[in-house]
Amino acid sequence: MKIKTTKDRRHRIALRQRKRISGTAERPRLRVFRSVSHIYAQVIDDMSGTTLASAASTEPSLKSALSGKARGSNVSGAKALGKTIADRLKEKGISRVVFDRGGYLYHGRVKALADAAREGGLQF
């Protein structure tokens, strides 16, 4: 795979990570996708190929948490999303996950989401 764009580079890094990261029923994979204006998180059981929970900064239920300066495109919006995904997993009885940063650097919004999920009670 020849790297021509930033998207190609991120995709190549994500594939390299996915060789080592896999989600199970006991410990599913917390996957992060970051676009320019929003951030998305989903928890996946790779053994059965199902999504157990998901959260996005585009959801109407998160609009109240994203009030003021918090948006999906900044760190405070990512923190609100991390707490939301942690709450949804706790309702389902899941406390341990494997973090998949999706080829993004562990910095900024990705790190803020991970830290907020840890504060919400997830272990990874």
Q: What's residue 12's pLDDT? A: 93
Average pLDDT, the chain: 93
Q: What is the mean pLDDT of residues 6-32?
A: 92
Distance CA 118, CA 83 (A): 8
In SS3 terms, 43-106 reads as EEECCCCEEEEEEECCCHHHCCCCCCCCCCCCHHHHHHHHHHHHHHHHHCCCCECEEECCCCCC
Domains of the chain: 6-119 (3.30.420.100)
pTM of the model: 0.89
* Distance, CA of 40 to CA of 9 (rounded, Å): 20
Tell me the Ramachandran region of residue 33: left when phi exceeds 0, alpha when psi lies from -120 to 50, beta otherwise. beta
Q: Which two tokens stand for residue 112?
A: 């803020």
Mean pLDDT over 34-44 rounds to 95
pLDDT band (50, 70, 90) for residue 25: confident
3-class secondary structure, 42: strand
Q: pLDDT tens digits, residue range 50-104?
A: 999 999 999 988 887 777 777 888 999 999 999 999 999 999 999 999 999 999 9
Look at residues 42, 47, 50 and name the one whose alpha carbon lies nearest to residue 23.
47
The DSSP code for 123 is B
